[in-house]
Structure 1
Amino acid sequence: MASTSAFKRWLRPEAYPIFAATGIAVTMCCFQLSRNLFTNPEVRLLKENRAAGILDNFEEGEKYAEHKLRKYVRNKSPEIMPSINKYFTESK
């Protein structure tokens, strides 16, 4: 009985946006965590790699910092809707 009332309480259409927002946030956190664990040059999971100490891997660090998304948005204007902004700000 208790489980059916909990389902009726939480699985309403009004609760779907909070589930979606929470799911997106958890997905983004998992993506960033896995990206840092597996591609960050400063993170070493294996004991053999940790014994190497501090390495000067400037090329590897540059590759990690300059990822594809950063390269894509580098020369874009920081506007959410540039066409609407341009429409309202251009003088006629």
Structure 2
Amino acid sequence: MASANRWLKPEVYPLFAAVGVAVGICAMQLVRNITTNPEVRVTKENRAAGILDNFEEGEKYAEHGLRKFVRKRPPQIMPSVNNFFSDPN
């Protein structure tokens, strides 16, 4: 029980949260690659098919919803703060 008190201090909670988010993002990307990547073939039948020239499936995988959303946005993290400090009034 003494070791649990050593690790479960309130100061450690943000570290656990950050590591948990990072592990979650990695797991999400792994699942996405295994399930939707056209170059990954899990079953033996799909692996036996060899190299497929399926450009539509590759384009669908590469142009996912997040990429389409970000493409229309300005390449800034906080554009209002950047405009406040950079644009002369």
The TM-score with structure 1 as length reference comes to 0.93
Offset at 1:21? 0.8
Partner of 2:67: helix, strand, or coil? helix
Structure 2 unaligned residues grouped into runs of 5+ = none
Residue equivalent to 2:83:
86
Partner of 2:74: helix, strand, or coil? coil
Offset at 1:17? 1.0
Structure 1 unaligned residues grouped into runs of 5+ = none
Offset at 1:75? 2.2
How high is the sequence identity, in percent, across the aligned residues?
64
The TM-score with structure 2 as length reference comes to 0.96
For 1:59, the aligned partner's letter is E
Alignment of 1:3-42 (within 5 A): 4-42=1-39
* Alignment RMSD (CA, Å): 0.7
Offset at 1:76? 1.2
The structure 1 segments of at least 4 consecutive aligned residues displaced by more than 3 Å after TM superposition are: none
| Distance (whole Å) between structure 2 residues aligned to residue 86 and residue 64 of structure 1 | 34
| Distance (whole Å) between structure 1 residues aligned to residue 3 and residue 55 of structure 2 | 53
